[in-house]
Every structure is written in structure tokens, then in C-alpha cells.
Chain A
Amino acid sequence: MKFFPHAALLILVSTTCFVVHAEAQEWTRFRGPNGTGISTAKGVPVTWDENGFAWRVPIAGASHSQPVAWGDRLFLLTALDNGKERAIICVRKSDGKELWQKSYPLPMARPGNKNSGYANTSPVVDAERVVACFVSNDHFWVRAFDHAGKELWSRDLGTFAAQHGHGASPMIYEGNVIVTNDQDGASSVVSLDARTGAVVWKSPRASGLNPNIAAAYCTPITHERADGTVELLLTSQSHGVSSIDVRTGAFNWDSPVFDKRMVASAIVAGDLAIGSCGSGAGTGNYLSAIKLGGKGDVGKTHVAYTLRRATPYVPTPLFHEGRLYLISDAGFASAIEAATGKEIWSERLPRAEFFSSPVLIDGKIYCASTKGEMIVLATGDTFKELGRSSLGEGTHSTPCVDGGRIYVKTFTHLVCIAEK
């Protein structure tokens, strides 16, 4: 859980004009600190009544973009005019007021699934810039802005083919922007200099035997290997859970044991990496735990276990204190002993379905449902639903947790939940 790659960054942050507490920078990318989905915030409400939002503001257009936070600002994406335009929006944390918006025409055909949209991804933010992807069939724009909305650079990675549109968010590591481009066409992972957008490395990726399910939706995470190097962990149908060197893009290992599309991102659970695959029909979803530390194709040697019950397709699992928590698309919550794959509990969350990934705050699991409820569960060896509160509207977006508050992008609004 290293929020900051460099100690120097901490110094930089503390000397910027808006003096912000280091803890306030916890949610700078998709699923927060290194994509774990885990917040250490305290005092976040478990339930609230209908008027319990700190604020709720409409956001133009529609999107499933998880907001990211820096200082007094939130950044998120939206799609305007039925996807003909894409925009990045900056709003003030304190009251949701829009500070700026930059939009770009980017027409494309409607994705082949109404649960997907034109703006599904999150930006990534550091002290100096916010970076976001704007993707259509014809263009894969990566654009960087300063916190005031000035465009710093842009780079077009080319065309993008995927039946259900684009969904992988960028991340930043040691001054480089990492962008995954696993798609039905020619695929790659690219590292760009965050200052200029220049390509630092480009790692080729296989498109797989079935191009219909090659497009992947994972946002990478980093993991320190035994030899001290740092690997990127990714998921895609072609490579399964895979590892490439974050500094060079060199291939370390992959595990092509997933026969369906991979949407959820990888997480690390002890000495295992977790990946899951599935389909919108819910047919044949499964999750496999892959032992870290391999080399080459580890599909036949490193699969620790595979789960086939109530495993998620779109939502990414959580790992906490030795347990995996799975929140499935169809609305089942499960706790799994991470080391062995043994089920501890698995329960239906009535009247709930999920595309949003759960987040863990102060030892509790927050699940934002497609029907617009936040369902809070206890961690541990016993299933317990702690609360169920309205989000005002359905959501497919993962919550952002920052400074003891929760920010959720619902279909057309942004809501802030805070202790009163």
C-alpha cells in the first residue's frame, strides 16, 4: 500500500499551495491505493437517510467513471451528446461545484451492450497532472491536464476494437503513465512519460484465439517481486493473469487458463494473484488464484485453486486479513479463505446486482448496486449486512474514498456521503 512511489513526492505535495494532508491523497486512481480498493479512513457513515448526502450534484451526460481525488478536487469523465463528445470534469470536493470541464468530439458506434457506456474509465491524478483516456473505435487518446484544466499533452495510440467498448483506466508509476490496450485488434501495454506523453516502452500483447473476448478491462496494479524488481499485474483472456516489468515492459509470466473475457482487475492476496473471467450471461464465470513468482507460462504449474460458485465477472474482489471478499454481478457476497480457496460464507444480497467493485473502509465492505443502494457488510467469518442506504440513483461506478468521505458517480449524478 505505497501511495507514493517517491518520498520526494510527499515533499512536493506538502509544499503545494493547497496544503493537504497526506491521507487525503489516498484515492488517485481506479480502486484507490494500488488498486486494492481499501481505505483506512475512519468515521465514514454506514447508513444514511434519504437526505443524508453531504451534497448531490448532476453531472452532464452519463458515465460510469469512478472519481479520483487530489487536494480539494475530484476528477471524473463523462460522455455528452450520447457519446459524440467526451469530457473530463473537475469538481470541488467541498460542495460538488464544477470548476472546469474539457470536452472533445469523439463519435463512435454505441457499444454492444447497454450496461457499458462511452465513459467507463477513471482518470489518474498526481501532484502535477491528471491523465485520462478518451477512446472510440478510431482513436485511443491519452490526454494529460494540469489541475486547472490546461491540456499538457495528448497522444493517440490508434484504433480500438471491442464489442463492449473501452473500460481500462490508466495508472501512474514513477512518473510514467501505464495504459493497457488489450483489445480485439492489435494489443499492447504502453508506458508514457507523464511529463510529455512520449512512449517509454511498449510491450506487445497477444490477441488470443478468440478475438471476441480478447478485449480486457483491467487496470494494472504493481507488486514487488522477490528480486526487488516491480511487476505490473494485469488480466486479459489472452494472457490470463500476467506480469510484466513496470520499468521496461519486459514479459515475466502469464497464466492463459481463463477461457472467457476478463473484466475485473488483478489483486494480490498474500502470495497469490487473483483473476476472474466470465460472461454477461453469467455462464461459466470462474476465479483462479495464481501463485506469484513464476516465469514464462505458469498456467500448468501455478494455479493454486479455481472457484466456480458466485464468482464475479465485472466487480473486482477485495483482499483483507487473509480473506477474499467476492461481490458477484448477480448479487451474491462471499468470503473465501484466500490461501486455500475454502468458502467461509456465501449469501444472497436480495434485490441487488453489481457492476461496481466493492471498497473496504475501516474493516467494512461497501457495495454500490446497479439499483442505487449502498449495501455495507461486515468483514470476518460471519456474514452480516450492516446497512443499506440510497444512492439516489443506480450506479455502475466504483466508489472513491477520500478524507473520510465517499464519492459515488451514479448514472447522472455525483453524490458525497459524509459524517454529519
Chain B
Amino acid sequence: MIKPIDQWSRVALLVRAGICSVTKGISSRLSRGGLPLITLLTWSSLCADDWPMLGGRPDRNMVSGEVGLPAEWSFGGKTPAKNIKWIASLGKVTFCAPVISGGRVFIGTDNDTKDHTEQRGVMKCFAESDGQLLWAVTHEKLRNPSEDDGTIGVTSTPCVSGDNVYYVSNRAELVCRAARDGKLIWSIDMRATLGVMPNQASSSSPLVVDGRVFVVTGTSADYKTGKVKNPAAPSFLAVDAQTGKVLWQDNSPGARIMTGQWGSPGYGVVAGVAQVAFPGGDGWLYSFAPATGKLLWKFNGKAHEKTLPSGEPETLFQFLAAPVFVGDRVYAAIGEPEAGSGAGALRCLDAKQRGDVTKSAEIWRLDGLDFSDSISMPVVHNGLVYAADTPGYLSCLDAVSGKKLWSHDVKSNIWGSPLVADGKVYIQSSEGAVFVFAVGREKKLLVTNTQLPDLQHGTAVAANGVLYITGQKQLFALAAGK
């Protein structure tokens, strides 16, 4: 009766290279029957579950119901391996998170270190039980590195729904494949058919709810001029999950896109009304009715910034991470790694309002010296918000007041998102340390894990009793007692 059709998945980081950039997301679980989200959350917290999309569920709130997850692990060196279930080979650079669904683990990467042919984007599928490679598909790079940076592969975290897996290729194609064998079902070349012009990376992580695929197309400002060449190209897209037919599209950011668009949508049912919110490259967050594409509300994430005398924005920060829906509220921060670091803004918004809600929807904001630019998804759990900023601070806030309760300096950048699972908060630093805290209003650092090789930007996720940590070259499945 309550058959969860959309499963969880997880974070997508997007990278812009030469400077690459990364985004992440989360996901949540919903029912076709339209039960209130809160019911499902409660239900899911009691069960071992898949993690089929960025953030685990469509609400992108990275709270996992898994229990018995390891807080520490060891691998290689002089100490015996501990809590390692399996290790799977990825490519050379991996910026997205794995998703776990139906006994399979999916992740985007590039071609192997030993593969000396041209750089390519790769989507891999492993067996959840033992990490054996089930299938892999490749995407050639676009010739212009300003559209598809030469150093990266697939940076979109996939979304599994039903029998299919959905992701955005490095060529800005929205791709639907059979989860079982990777066979192509349909693909939309968003450049060729929609006039989309990507900027270095196509990293949006799709979201599938009620038979519709939602994605940020990634259309961008032109590198050479900084101007948007094709403002009519859609920024936000809804597609029929079975047929690949475009259901609706929206180009609201249009000519105001500052640099690029690398974010991912989030979904919630607020006061009984479903909505899907997209981060725009103009610094706004746009929320639509999923079935029709009718705008419900929009919020200017740059409202607190000054405009420079030249007329340019104070920063190029925008909403990059997927917005997180919890109850009637949306949590989201702004940032953009290539724009450098600076004062950011983490916001809690009232998602019940309609229209341009810039002046009225903000319930609280953490900014200035308290919170820098961020491309992480905040996570909300038991009245607390855990949020990371790019310079490398994990902060814990009171979800009602927005008051900062504690923070921790991980001493390197953070592009990944925190995961709350099993009474712990997991956060991965760009230098490969995975910090594990106890949840709570007081800071309690349990363990700093530094043993896994080649860990950089990444987000821990959990599914079916297993914790997944993503390195650039390997995916680690960790389980207690293994």
C-alpha cells in the first residue's frame, strides 16, 4: 500500500576544475500514496534502507535510520583491516557520492588510472553485497574544456527510481538507464535539444518523484564574455521518467546567471502542497508545483549582500547545494568555490509563503564571521542543524533560533555534506579525514579517521547497515565487525 518508489541517494559534488567545483545533495523517500513526509521519515528511521539518491531522500535531509555503523576503521599499514566490508575501484577523480538501491551501488567517476586513453566520464554499478563491478558505461568528453573540464568525469550523483537509474553525463545529457545492466533507455542531450551551455561541469543530481525527473540543466554564462549567450535555454527541467519527454521547463535565471549552474533540486510536501525547489545561477531559490511547473515562491539568496559601485554583485555566491526540506521549512546556504571564500549565509526559510518571499520568508540567517560560503547541504535532526562551510568549519545550530551552539575546525576545505546516522555526525574533509561527532548540543568529537587513501571531497552515506566513504580512486564499504 505504501510502496516507496523513490529511494534514497546521496550527494553530488560538482567540481569545477582548473578549478573545478563540486556540489552535493541528498535525498529522501516518499510514497506514491502521498502520505505526509514525516510519517515516512519516522518509518524509515526504524528500518535498514536503501539510499537511492543525493541526500538519501527527495527532501535531501541527510539523516539515515541505519544503526550499528562503525565510528572508526582501519585499512592497510601495520594495523589489521578493521570494519572494511569491501573496496571497489573508481577512476582517478570522483566527486559524487554513491547511491544504493536494489542490491546495487551506483557512482559517477572517470576512467581508471591505468587507462591511458583519453579522459572520459564513467558511471559504475557494483554489487552491494561484495563490491564486484556489475557494469560500467562511458561518456566521451566534450571537446571544449570550458563546457566539460578536461580533468573530471561524471560528477552528477545518480538517482535510482524503480528499475532505472538517472544521472547527468559530463556531456550535459540527462540519461536514463536500466539499473540492472546499464542499458540505455533514453537520453536528452540538453545542449543539442534545449540550447543549454554548460560551464566546466554538468553536475546536477536528478530527483525522481511521482514519475517525474527534476534536474538543473546547467546552462551558464559564456566563458569568453561572462554573458549568458542563450537566456532562453531552460535552467530547470521536469521530464517524464518513463519516456524522457519534457513535461515543463523554466528559464527564470535567464540572462542573470552569474557564472554557471551546478546545483540540484530538493522536494518537500509543505502544508499538504508538494513543491520542488531549484537553486538558480542568479542566486535565487525557485520553488515550483511539481506537476505543472507553476512558480510557488522565489527567494533572493543575495539579498543581504551589497551591490558594488560597478553594479556587480558583492560575491558570485549562489545556492549550489540542494535545498533541504524539513517540515514547513527549507534550509540552504550559498557559496561557489571558484569565487573564493568569504562571508556566506545559511538560511532557514518558511516554505509556506507564495510569490517573491525575499523580504518575508527568512526565519533566521547565520552569516558574516559566523558562517562562510558553503556548498554543503545542511542536515536537520532532533532540533539541531549541522552545517559545513567551504573553509572547513562544521557548525551545530539550534534549528528554531539559528543560534550557533558549537563548531569545529577540520583544518581543510569541506565540499561534502554531513551525515547524521546512528547517533553520530559524519563529515569528510578535503584532505581525507572523516570526523565523527556524537549528535547533540555539546561538541563531542568521537574519532578522527585518517586511514583511508585518496579521500578528498566526499560525503559519507549509509544504507542497509553499511557506511560508504568515497575516495577519489576507491569506494569503501564499511561495516562493524567486518
Which residues of A are interface residues toward B (Cβ below 8 A)? 109-110, 112-116, 163-164, 209-213, 259-261, 279-284, 308-310, 330-332, 346, 348, 351, 353, 370-371
A115: B residues at CB distance < 8 A: 19, 338, 340
CA distance A346 to B410 in the complex (A): 12
Within 8 Å of chain A (Cβ to Cβ): is B3? no
Within 8 Å of chain A (Cβ to Cβ): is B409? yes
Is the pair A209, B116 in contact by a Cβ cutoff of 8 Å? Answer: yes
Which of B149, B340, B431 contacts A310, CB < 8 Å? Answer: B431
B149-163 residues at the A interface, CB under 8 angstroms: 149-151
- Please, could you name 29 A-B residue pairs with CB atoms under 8 Å apart, sorted by A? A112-B223, A113-B19, A114-B259, A114-B338, A163-B18, A163-B150, A164-B19, A212-B151, A213-B151, A260-B151, A279-B151, A280-B16, A280-B19, A282-B413, A282-B430, A282-B456, A282-B457, A283-B457, A284-B472, A309-B412, A310-B411, A310-B412, A330-B392, A332-B412, A348-B411, A351-B342, A353-B340, A353-B341, A371-B342
Residue of B nearest to A212 (CB): B150
A116: B residues at CB distance < 8 A: 18
Nearest 6 A/B pairs, CB to CB: A280-B19, A212-B150, A283-B456, A281-B20, A113-B18, A164-B18
Contact code string B95-133 (vs A, CB < 8 Å = 1, else 0): 100000000000000000100100100000000000000
Interface centre among B17, B200, B259, B411 (most CB of A within 10 A): B17
B295-338 residues at the A interface, CB under 8 angstroms: 337-338
Q: Known contacts being A163-B18, A308-B431, is A283 close to B93, with CB within 8 Å?
A: yes
Contact code string B340-365 (vs A, CB < 8 Å = 1, else 0): 11100000000000000000000000
Interface centre among B18, B21, B146, B456 (most CB of A within 10 A): B18
Within 8 Å of chain A (Cβ to Cβ): is B196? no
Within 8 Å of chain A (Cβ to Cβ): is B15? yes
Interface centre among A282, A310, A346 (most CB of B within 10 A): A282
Q: A281-B22, A283-B472, A332-B412 are in contact. List 5 more A-B contacts (CB 8 A).
A: A115-B19, A163-B145, A212-B151, A282-B430, A283-B95
Q: Known contacts being A115-B338, A212-B119, A331-B391, is A281 close to B16, with CB within 8 Å?
A: yes
Is the pair A112, B92 in contact by a Cβ cutoff of 8 Å? Answer: no
A114: B residues at CB distance < 8 A: 259, 338
A310: B residues at CB distance < 8 A: 411-412, 431
CA distance A348 to B151 in the complex (A): 28
Is the pair B413, A284 in contact by a Cβ cutoff of 8 Å? Answer: no
B225: A residues at CB distance < 8 A: 110
Contact code string B174-210 (vs A, CB < 8 Å = 1, else 0): 0000000000000000000000000010000000000
Is the pair B119, A210 in contact by a Cβ cutoff of 8 Å? Answer: yes
Which of A210, A331, A371 contacts B150, CB < 8 Å? Answer: A210
Q: How far is the CB of A24 from chain B (nearest CB, A)?
A: 35
A281: B residues at CB distance < 8 A: 15-17, 19-22, 95, 337, 415, 456-457
CA distance A331 to B390 in the complex (A): 12
Contact code string B67-99 (vs A, CB < 8 Å = 1, else 0): 000000000000000000000000011010000
CA distance A353 to B392 in the complex (A): 13
CA distance A133 to B200 in the complex (A): 28
Is the pair B411, A346 in contact by a Cβ cutoff of 8 Å? Answer: yes
CA distance A343 to B381 in the complex (A): 38
CA distance A112 to B259 in the complex (A): 12
CA distance A164 to B226 in the complex (A): 15
B412: A residues at CB distance < 8 A: 282, 309-310, 330, 332
Q: How far is the CB of A110 from chain B (nearest CB, A)?
A: 5
CA distance A405 to B142 in the complex (A): 48
Is the pair A211, B150 in contact by a Cβ cutoff of 8 Å? Answer: yes
Is the pair B116, A279 in contact by a Cβ cutoff of 8 Å? Answer: no
Is the pair B15, A283 in contact by a Cβ cutoff of 8 Å? Answer: yes
Residue of A nearest to B20 (CB): A281
Which of A259, A260, A330 contacts B413, CB < 8 Å? Answer: A330
Within 8 Å of chain A (Cβ to Cβ): is B250? no
Q: Known contacts being A279-B17, A330-B412, is A309 close to B431, with CB within 8 Å?
A: yes
Is the pair A110, B223 in contact by a Cβ cutoff of 8 Å? Answer: yes
CA distance A285 to B432 in the complex (A): 11
Residue of B nearest to A369 (CB): B340
B7-46 residues at the A interface, CB under 8 angstroms: 15-22
CA distance A113 to B150 in the complex (A): 13
B16: A residues at CB distance < 8 A: 280-281
Interface centre among B93, B225, B431 (most CB of A within 10 A): B431
Q: How far is the CB of B435 from chain A (nearest CB, A)?
A: 15
CA distance A35 to B136 in the complex (A): 47
Q: How far is the CB of B414 from chain A (nearest CB, A)?
A: 10
A211: B residues at CB distance < 8 A: 150
CA distance A283 to B470 in the complex (A): 13
Interface centre among A112, A310, A331 (most CB of B within 10 A): A112
Q: Known contacts being A212-B145, A279-B151, A353-B340, is A284 close to B456, with CB within 8 Å?
A: yes
Q: How far is the CB of B224 from chain A (nearest CB, A)?
A: 5
A110: B residues at CB distance < 8 A: 223-226
Is the pair B119, A330 in contact by a Cβ cutoff of 8 Å? Answer: no
A283: B residues at CB distance < 8 A: 15, 20, 93, 95, 430, 456-457, 472
Q: How far is the CB of B91 from chain A (nearest CB, A)?
A: 12
Residue of A nearest to B453 (CB): A308
Interface centre among A110, A114, A348, A351 (most CB of B within 10 A): A114
Interface centre among A164, A212, A259, A348 (most CB of B within 10 A): A212
Is the pair B200, A259 in contact by a Cβ cutoff of 8 Å? Answer: no
Is the pair B224, A284 in contact by a Cβ cutoff of 8 Å? Answer: no
B472: A residues at CB distance < 8 A: 283-284
CA distance A205 to B432 in the complex (A): 33
Is the pair B20, A279 in contact by a Cβ cutoff of 8 Å? Answer: yes
Contact code string B448-466 (vs A, CB < 8 Å = 1, else 0): 0000001011000000000
Contact code string B392-421 (vs A, CB < 8 Å = 1, else 0): 100000000000000001011101000000
Which of B338, B409, B431 contacts A348, CB < 8 Å? Answer: B409
A353: B residues at CB distance < 8 A: 340-341
Q: How far is the CB of A346 from chain B (nearest CB, A)?
A: 7
B17: A residues at CB distance < 8 A: 279-281
B151: A residues at CB distance < 8 A: 210, 212-213, 260-261, 279
B391: A residues at CB distance < 8 A: 330-331
A113: B residues at CB distance < 8 A: 18-19, 338
Q: How far is the CB of A211 from chain B (nearest CB, A)?
A: 7
Is the pair B411, A280 in contact by a Cβ cutoff of 8 Å? Answer: no
B223: A residues at CB distance < 8 A: 109-110, 112
CA distance A348 to B414 in the complex (A): 14
B22: A residues at CB distance < 8 A: 281
B413: A residues at CB distance < 8 A: 282, 330
Q: How far is the CB of A169 from chain B (nearest CB, A)?
A: 19
Q: How far is the CB of A118 from chain B (nearest CB, A)?
A: 12
